[in-house]
Amino acid sequence: MHRIDGGTMLARRGGGSLTSAEIAESLASNPVLVRRILGRLRDADLVWSTEGRGGGWSLARAPRDITLYDAYAAVEEGRILSRHAHPPSDACEIGRNISAQLEVEFQDAERAMEERLGRTTIAHLLQQVLDAEREPAPPRQTPPDQAPASSL
């Protein structure tokens, strides 16, 4: 999540830069973790950094040109869904066949997620966040078991 949150914060800044400490504070996270993620985003040419006084992190491209999949692929390694760490037993009909069947399902699910993330840009996500901020919060409803007893 930090990879997307940070990118959205940088997009909101409108071309300005933010320090990793500023981003970490907003995310309630550790600046070292934020710098590590930003470093991977920099390696993927999604952000750039400037050192020294007034330095910080900025988007390397327009927010409309960065998808959530770009950010995901820059930071995450390996497959999304875990596979068996140890192959199942060949002595069992399930064990002999389950891995191949799950692999097809997992690959389909991973492709669907990648395609979906590829349709959403940082600009679009920022607009959704800003729209949600402008909407009034729905009234809180008290669960029935915590509602005050009515007097008859």
Which pLDDT belongs to residue 136?
78
Chain segment 85-130, per-residue pLDDT in tens: 778 888 889 888 888 899 899 999 999 999 999 999 999 999 999 9
Evaluate if residue 149 carries a pLDDT over 80. Answer: no
- With bands split at pLDDT 50, 70 and 90, how would you rate the model's confidence at 135? confident
Rounded distance between C-alpha atoms, residue 132 and residue 146, angstroms = 28
Neighbours of 111 (CB within 10 A): 10
Instruction: Express each pLDDT in 26-74 by its tens digit.
Output: 888 999 999 999 999 999 999 999 888 878 999 999 999 999 999 999 9
Which residues, at least 6 apart from 17, have a Cβ–Cβ distance to it below 8 Å? 10, 49, 50, 54, 55, 56, 57, 58
Residue of higher predicted confidence among 145 and 121: 121
